[in-house]
Each structure stands twice: as structure tokens, then as C-alpha cells.
């Protein structure tokens, strides 16, 4: 039997103690009644030998190990390269559910691009009183060198990862926007490839929308954003910090799948007003650079002078229309967690529509009254750094010790503007395979969005991250989380 699963209390920083009846399980709903999207999967599992499933789980881990799907963990010993944990029980989303999500994601991404253009030009949203001026002027991610600059095609965020969480049948929340350099798409693609190889019979029983065309779509989307200086077929390259970066596997994976060059800063230089790449035929100009390094390291002549990762003078070429940088410098303002709290207003201001996808209610600790509320209720809230990522620099109140609460209280009082707080949510669970059978674990979802002048392309599904350990509070791979294949069914 696959019912009667154990109950977990884990998520990416959004948790609360709850009974099984309060938690929405995406396979079993709230009343332990099998939901239609999982019907074929449940029937298949019922007729499978549990020993075969566990054997397949081990085989999947071996595939990932042989493929080299690992990530590096900063701040640990030199050998801190880890395998990405993978669970073979897929997460399944009905076609109608995905259609609504896709509409909401597209609306939000359009608003984000319009917002970025506005704040680097006339700042109409500030003039209209919908966003305080200091939220832009004092934002560490705001890049003054982008003022007055319009990227080719008007696209600022060429690749977006929108993190979603679910609390019920039709209740989805945006947890955060990733508008700088969202990662994880290689795991989405490898997860699907592994499942297709190991369980072809499952795909013959379920009409699952494909994700394998993402690399082709990515290259096509980037090429469509070529700069005015491009006169022929756009030349695309991926800029990586190098092999010691935690996401280097993904950088090399995407370059290989797109059929483009993977370059480091020392491979590039400015030649005759263009950014050129070293080749066996000499330096050849690049039209579109998919950069996977932060703004500060992009150009030592314009940003951090100590950077050895970027290309001296690339910002001057960019402003002159000689190259497209994806994503554009300065896009970090849009995924700032304080700006996040204004996203419903931002969506409405630029689209004229109410936001389809909800925000998690958020207290900005820079506001004195909000700070006081957060301090008074610290043990019940999740507190995050405004520019934090990867689950670092955050407090999960319900799971924190008295000492941790006291230490974080001091941090909040010292730098309140550096933090936001959110309530805990009863997040959805999805089954994972354990030695004892199936067990629920909390998940989030990162769909990947491509933006070009030709339109917006949303890959059906995305990367499901899952807290594999019972009681775990984060899904991030750097802190013990794993991944699942995400199936979006055909209508």
C-alpha cells in the first residue's frame, strides 16, 4: 500500500507545525484521497516491487555520479563537492494547473522587465508614489551605470527563475524572483533524461510535456537579443567564473547543449570596440554573452577593480551597443527581497491587471512599526536577508533555539533595513521514496522563463527542490535538499 505516509514539517524557510489534515499533499490532497494527476503513477507503484524501486533509486544516484552532476560547497574543506540528491518519485502538475501558473509567471516577468526599464529611465513608479524613492536610490543592487541604458530588444531579464510554493489545490505563492543569474536548469534537464532512461513505461502511460528543447530555446532566445553591432548570425558564448564555482557543471552543460563556447574572463578582450573571444583563428567578436558571474566582477574598469573574472571595458562596449549581456547588469533590483514586497503594486502598475500569483505577506524591517512586530513575534516568523540566497543568512523562527533568536534579534536591531520577515505557511508535500516506502516532504518549484523580443517562453514544469530529510527546513542542495523530475501533463 502507498497510503498512510509519515508526516514531515520541512520547506524552504516557510514551515509550521501542522497535522496531516492541514497540509496539502499533492498526491493525496487533504483527505488522503488520490488526486487525478497521480492516478497512473499510483497504479504503477502499487504493482511495482519495492525492492526494484529502491534498486532504481541507487542506479539513478550512480548515473548522476558518473555524469558528474555535482555542486561545490563554499566555506568547507577542499573536498566539499557533493552529489545532487535525486528522488525518483516525480512531482506531477495537471495541465490546467500549469496553464494558470504560466499566465501568472508571464504577467510577472513582463512587469519585472517594465519595472527595470522604468527605474533606469524616468522612474514613473516612483513619481506616481507607488514605490518609495529610497527603495531604488539606497538599493545595493541598483546600478547607476545602467541609467539611461536600454538593452537590445528592451530585455533586461533574459532568463528568469520564479520560485513558487503551494499551500492548496489552487493556492500558489511566489516565494521569490531570481532575475540575476538563476541556476538549476541543468538539473531539471538531467532529471528528466534519467527518468526517461530508467522508467520509459511511465512516460508511455502519462502524457508528459517535454523539457528537452530548453537548450535550443535558450540559444534561439539569446540570439534574438543580438545587439545593433551584430551583422550576421549572432555568436553566443557562456561566461563562467571557472571550475571552482559552485554552478560550474551547469555552465559547461548549457554551453555544450547550446553548441556555444564556454569562456572565462581571460579568454576575452575588447578589440575595435567589440568584445572578442580568443580562437585558433585569432580573436572573433561575440554578440551575446550569457554571463554567470555577478555584476561586481563583470568589468574591473567599471566595477570591482580587483576582479580577475570579468572583461575590462565590457560595460563601455555594452553601453555603445556592441554586445548583449544576459542578464543585464543591475537586474538584481528586481529580485531584492524588499522590492519583492511591492511586487503586487509593480505588476498592477505596469500591466493594469491584478497579480495572478500571490506574494507571501512580507514585513519590511526597515519600517519601524514592522520591525517592532517582527521583534515581538520572532519565534513565529521566517526572517531573510534582503540580498540573501541559497537559504543562508536567514532565521526560521519555529525551529530556532533561544540563543539563535537572541543573536538574530541583535542583528535585526543593528541593521533592520537588511531584513524582511514572512509568516510560516503550511506548504504542500510530495512523496519521496524511503526505505520504509513513500513519505511526504515539502517542496518548492522553480520554473524557468526565457525572454526575448519575440516573446516569453516558459518551460513546462521546472526544477522541483525537495527537503529529503524528515524535519528538514530547507530544500537548497547546499543544505541537504534534493531534486525531483517535474511533470506537467498534457490537457
Does residue 278 sit within a domain? Answer: no
Does residue 399 sit within a domain? Answer: yes
Within the chain, which residues score under 70 in pLDDT?
1-21, 70-82, 388-392, 471-474, 477-480
C-alpha cell at 453: 523580443
How many Å apart are CA 138 and CA 3, to the nearest integer?
A: 52
Query: In terms of residues, how long is the chain?
Result: 491
Residue 402: domain span:
361-423
C-alpha cell at 407: 543573536
Sequence-separated contacts (24+) of 392-397 with Cβ below 8 Å: 392/478, 394/13, 396/13, 396/15, 396/473, 397/424
- Look at residue 478 in the predicted model and tell me its pLDDT: 63
Residue 445, C-beta contacts closer than 8 angstroms, at least 6 positions apart: 91, 163, 164, 165, 166, 462, 463, 464, 465, 486
C-alpha cell at 443: 517542496
Indicate the SS3 state at residue 83: strand
- Look at residue 3 in the predicted model and tell me its pLDDT: 38
Half-sphere exposure of 365 (CA within 13 A, CB side): 27
Indicate the SS3 state at residue 364: strand
Does residue 20 sit within a domain? Answer: no
- Look at residue 475 in the predicted model and tell me its pLDDT: 72
Does residue 213 sit within a domain? Answer: no
CA distances from 204 to 54, 175, 187, 431 (A): 21, 34, 23, 21
Does residue 331 sit within a domain? Answer: no
Does residue 251 sit within a domain? Answer: no
Does residue 83 sit within a domain? Answer: no
Indicate the SS3 state at residue 355: coil
- Look at residue 68 in the predicted model and tell me its pLDDT: 73
Q: What is the pLDDT of residues 396-430, one digit of tens each?
A: 888 889 999 999 999 999 999 889 999 988 789 99
Go through 410-447 and write b for each residue having 16 or more CB atoms within 10 A of its CB, e for each that does not. Answer: eebeeebebbbbbebbbbbbbbbbbeebbbbbbbbbbb
Q: What is the pLDDT of residues 212-236, one digit of tens each?
A: 999 999 999 999 999 999 999 999 9
Q: What pTM does this model have?
A: 0.90
How many Å apart are CA 420 and CA 343, to the nearest integer?
A: 14
The full 3-state SS of 85-115, as one line of letters, equals CEEEEEEEECHHHHHHHHHHHHHHHHHHHHH
The string of DSSP letters for 124-162 reads: HHHHTTSS-THHHHT-TT--GGGTT---GGG-S-SEEEE
The string of DSSP letters for 382-447 reads: EEEETT--TTTT-EEGGG--HHHHHHHHHHHHH-GGGEEEEE-----EEEEEETTEEEEEEEEEE-
Indicate the SS3 state at residue 51: helix
C-alpha cell at 224: 534574438
- Look at residue 393 in the predicted model and tell me its pLDDT: 73
CATH of the domain at 419: 3.30.1490.270
C-alpha cell at 333: 533590483
Using alpha carbons only, what angle is made at residue 232 by residues 228 and 236, rounded to the nearest 5 degrees? Answer: 80
Does residue 79 sit within a domain? Answer: no
Using alpha carbons only, what angle is made at residue 29 by residues 459 and 24, rounded to the nearest 5 degrees? Answer: 75
Domain count, the chain: 1
How many Å apart are CA 218 and CA 188, to the nearest integer?
A: 14
How many Å apart are CA 301 and CA 408, to the nearest integer?
A: 37
How many Å apart are CA 117 and CA 119, to the nearest integer?
A: 6
Q: Is the dihedral of CA 473, 477, 479, 480 positive or negative?
A: positive
Amino acid at each position: 500500500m502507498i497510503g498512510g505516509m509519515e508526516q514531515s514539517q520541512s520547506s524552504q524557510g516557510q514551515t509550521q507545525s501542522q497535522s496531516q489534515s492541514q497540509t496539502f499533499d499533492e498526491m493525496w490532497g487533504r483527505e488522503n484521497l488520490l488526486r487525478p494527476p497521480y492516478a497512473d503513477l499510483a497504479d504503477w507503484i502499487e504493482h511495482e516491487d519495492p525492492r526494484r524501486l529502491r534498486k532504481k533509486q541507487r542506479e539513478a544516484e550512480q548515473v548522476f555520479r558518473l555524469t558528474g552532476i555535482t555542486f561545490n560547497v563554499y566555506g568547507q574543506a577542499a573536498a566539499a563537492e557533493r552529489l545532487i540528491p535525486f528522488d525518483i518519485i516525480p512531482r506531477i502538475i495537471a495541465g490546467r494547473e500549469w496553464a494558470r501558473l504560466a499566465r501568472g509567471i508571464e504577467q510577472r516577468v513582463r512587469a519585472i522587465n517594465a519595472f527595470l526599464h522604468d527605474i533606469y529611465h524616468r522612474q514613473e513608479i516612483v513619481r506616481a508614489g507607488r514605490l518609495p524613492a529610497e527603495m531604488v536610490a539606497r538599493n545595493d543592487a541598483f546600478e547607476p551605470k545602467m541609467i539611461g541604458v536600454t538593452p537590445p530588444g528592451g530585455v533586461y531579464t533574459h532568463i528568469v527563475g520564479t520560485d513558487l510554493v503551494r499551500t492548496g489545490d489552487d493556492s500558489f505563492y511566489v516565494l521569490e524572483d531570481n532575475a540575476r543569474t538563476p541556476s538549476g536548469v541543468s538539473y531539471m534537464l538531467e532529471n528528466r533524461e534519467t527518468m526517461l532512461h530508467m522508467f520509459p513505461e511511465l512516460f508511455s502511460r502519462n502524457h508528459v510535456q517535454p523539457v528537452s528543447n530548453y537548450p535550443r530555446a535558450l540559444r534561439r532566445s539569446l540570439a534574438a537579443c543580438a545587439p545593433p553591432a551584430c551583422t550576421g548570425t549572432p555568436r553566443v558564448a557562456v561566461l563562467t567564473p571557472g571550475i571552482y564555482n559552485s554552478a560550474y557543471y551547469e555552465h559547461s552543460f548549457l554551453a555544450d547543449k547550446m553548441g556555444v563556447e564556454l569562456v572565462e574572463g581571460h579568454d576575452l578582450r575588447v578589440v575595435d570596440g567589440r568584445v572578442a573571444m580568443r580562437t585558433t583563428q585569432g580573436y572573433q567578436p561575440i554578440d551575446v554573452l550569457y554571463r554567470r558571474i555577478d555584476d561586481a566582477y563583470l568589468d574591473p574598469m567599471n566595477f570591482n577593480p580587483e576582479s580577475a573574472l570579468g572583461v575590462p571595458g565590457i560595460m563601455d562596449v555594452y553601453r555603445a551597443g556592441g554586445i548583449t549581456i544576459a542578464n543585464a547588469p543591475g537586474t538584481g533590483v528586481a529580485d531584492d527581497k524588499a522590492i519583492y514586497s511591492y511586487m503586487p503594486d509593480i505588476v498592477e502598475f505596469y500591466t493594469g491587471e491584478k497579480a495572478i500569483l500571490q506574494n507571501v505577506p512580507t514585513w519590511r524591517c526597515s519600517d519601524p512599526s514592522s520591525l517592532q512586530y517582527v521583534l515581538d513575534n520572532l519565534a513565529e516568523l521566517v526572517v531573510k536577508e534582503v540580498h540573501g540566497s541559497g537559504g543562508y543568512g536567514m532565521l526560521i523562527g519555529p525551529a530556532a533555539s533561544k540563543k539563535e533568536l537572541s543573536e538574530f534579534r541583535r542583528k535585526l536591531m543593528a541593521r533592520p533595513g537588511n531584513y524582511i520577515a514572512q509568516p510560516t505557511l503550511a506548504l504542500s508535500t510530495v512523496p519521496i521514496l524511503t526505505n520504509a516506502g513513500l513519505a511526504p516532504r515539502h517542496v518548492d518549484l522553480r520554473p524557468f522563463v526565457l525572454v526575448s523580443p519575440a516573446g516569453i517562453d516558459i518551460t513546462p514544469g521546472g526544477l522541483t527542490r525537495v527537503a529529503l530529510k524528515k524535519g528538514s527546513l530547507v530544500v537548497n542542495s547546499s543544505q541537504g535538499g534534493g531534486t525531483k523530475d517535474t511533470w506537467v501533463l498534457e490537457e
